[in-house]
């Protein structure tokens, strides 16, 4: 028997229940983990609340990221063995392969032997953030040395991952944050400059940071009213990669900037990398190399115990964190 997290209705953190269940054996091409740490993601919160792109069949499991020991392997798995220390790349369905549990099963090709110096918490905090940032900045935008890149919601785990990744390839990460409270933290995390949305000079500071040519690459999970100011600071032929819609306010379509600058507004979900074996393999190589050298280093804001899973969700939803929220098992 093993404990897992399930929810029987969508809603707030209180809908999460910890239950005992029989630990099923992995099927062909699957791996079962004895979980030691779990990464908590915004997608988990959206799934629990009924706002995610995937509609759960209730009761449902939850979670996309975990790290631990290989506990059992299914038929045709020849790259992993029981006892291996591993972490998990997010699957395309947390309902089919939920990570919130003392034991969890995943597709073998998404289970990775990570660098040995990473703790379980760091390993569980790695793949969603770095894979999301890699897919946008490296795979899609081909970010290059010397150019500025605008990163909004920069204090999130993905925002911090994007800052590190931009620095890794020699680009200049320009971070955007709502208030001034996290400005110094973002500079310490590697941002070359921090733009505060609420300081009254947002559009002017964007234009200044983008320079004469403007930003070729913008990485944004917020949308909302800031779209107009952001696109006005972009370069001709620039690309705005949108990977979320956190703003509760309407998002205006900036037709003037889009037309005059021939901008590309590109919707992006990490699933497109996970579902493509060739692109995923390149991503794994890039991220593992960065983790090995320390150029990519997960920043963990706070760790909760498994019994505190609802508290972990409440904390993430309060939006006061800087980096990743994890749960230890």
Q: What is the mean pLDDT of residues 211-215?
A: 93
Q: What is the mean pLDDT of residues 60-72?
A: 96
- For residues 29 and 47, give the distance between their C-alpha atoms in angstroms, rounded to a whole number: 26
pLDDT at 246: 83
In a domain, 286, yes or no: no
pLDDT at 247: 82
Residue 207 sits in a domain whose CATH number is 3.40.50.720
Q: What is the mean pLDDT of the chain?
A: 95
pLDDT at 282: 97
pLDDT at 95: 87
Question: Could you tell me if 186 and 253 lie in one domain?
Answer: yes
Question: Could you tell me if 113 and 36 lie in one domain?
Answer: yes
Question: Could you tell me if 56 and 136 lie in one domain?
Answer: no
Q: What is the mean pLDDT of residues 218-225?
A: 94
Question: Could you tell me if 135 and 10 lie in one domain?
Answer: no
pLDDT at 238: 97
Which domain does 24 fall in, by range? 2-126+298-328
Digit-coded pLDDT (tens) for 101-127: 999 999 999 999 999 999 999 999 999
In a domain, 62, yes or no: yes
Question: Could you tell me if 109 and 189 lie in one domain?
Answer: no
pLDDT at residue 266 greater than cutoff 90: yes
pLDDT at 248: 83
Question: Could you tell me if 214 and 91 lie in one domain?
Answer: no
Question: Could you tell me if 138 and 112 lie in one domain?
Answer: no
pLDDT at residue 1 greater than cutoff 90: no
pLDDT at 294: 96
Last residue of a domain, one of 254, 271, 288: 271
Predicted TM-score (pTM) of the model is 0.94
In a domain, 37, yes or no: yes
pLDDT at residue 162 greater than cutoff 90: yes
Question: Could you tell me if 110 and 215 lie in one domain?
Answer: no
Last residue of a domain, one of 256, 271, 286: 271
pLDDT at residue 54 greater than cutoff 90: no
pLDDT at 200: 83
Question: Could you tell me if 33 and 167 lie in one domain?
Answer: no
Digit-coded pLDDT (tens) for 80-99: 999 999 999 999 889 899 99
In a domain, 293, yes or no: no
pLDDT at residue 71 greater than cutoff 90: yes
Query: Total domain count for the chain?
Result: 2
In a domain, 102, yes or no: yes
pLDDT at 23: 85
Q: What is the mean pLDDT of residues 134-162?
A: 96
In a domain, 174, yes or no: yes
Q: What is the mean pLDDT of residues 237-241?
A: 97
């Amino acid at each position: 028997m093993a404990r897992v997290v399930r929810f029987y209705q969508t809603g707030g953190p209180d809908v999460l229940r910890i239950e005992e269940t029989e630990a099923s054996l992995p099927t062909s091409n699957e791996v079962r983990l004895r979980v030691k740490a779990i990464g908590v993601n915004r997608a988990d919160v959206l799934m629990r609340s009924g706002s995610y792109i995937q509609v759960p069949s209730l009761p449902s499991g939850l979670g996309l990221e975990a790290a631990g020991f290989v506990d059992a392997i299914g038929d045709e798995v020849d790259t992993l063995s029981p006892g291996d220390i591993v972490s998990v790349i997010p699957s395309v369905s947390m309902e089919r392969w939920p990570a919130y549990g003392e034991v969890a099963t995943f597709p073998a090709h998404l289970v990775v032997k990570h660098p040995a110096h990473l703790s379980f918490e760091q390993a569980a905090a790695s793949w969603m953030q770095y894979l999301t940032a890699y897919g946008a900045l490296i795979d899609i935008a081909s970010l290059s040395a010397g150019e500025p890149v605008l990163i909004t919601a920069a204090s999130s785990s993905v925002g911090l991952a994007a800052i590190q990744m931009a620095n890794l390839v020699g680009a200049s990460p320009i971070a955007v944050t709502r208030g001034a409270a996290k400005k110094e933290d973002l500079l310490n995390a590697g941002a070359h400059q921090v733009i505060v949305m609420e300081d009254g000079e947002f559009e002017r500071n964007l234009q200044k940071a983008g320079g004469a040519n403007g930003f070729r690459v913008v990485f944004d999970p917020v949308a909302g009213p800031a779209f107009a100011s952001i696109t006005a600071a972009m370069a001709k032929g620039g690309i705005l990669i949108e990977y979320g819609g956190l703003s509760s306010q309407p998002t205006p379509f900036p037709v003037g900037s889009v037309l005059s600058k021939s901008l590309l507004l590109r919707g992006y979900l990490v699933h497109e990398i996970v579902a493509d074996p060739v692109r995923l393999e390149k991503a794994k190589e890039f991220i593992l190399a960065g983790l090995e050298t320390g150029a990519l280093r997960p920043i963990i804001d706070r760790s909760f115990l498994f019994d505190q899973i609802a508290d972990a969700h409440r904390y993430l939803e309060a939006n006061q964190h800087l980096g990743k929220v994890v749960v230890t098992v």
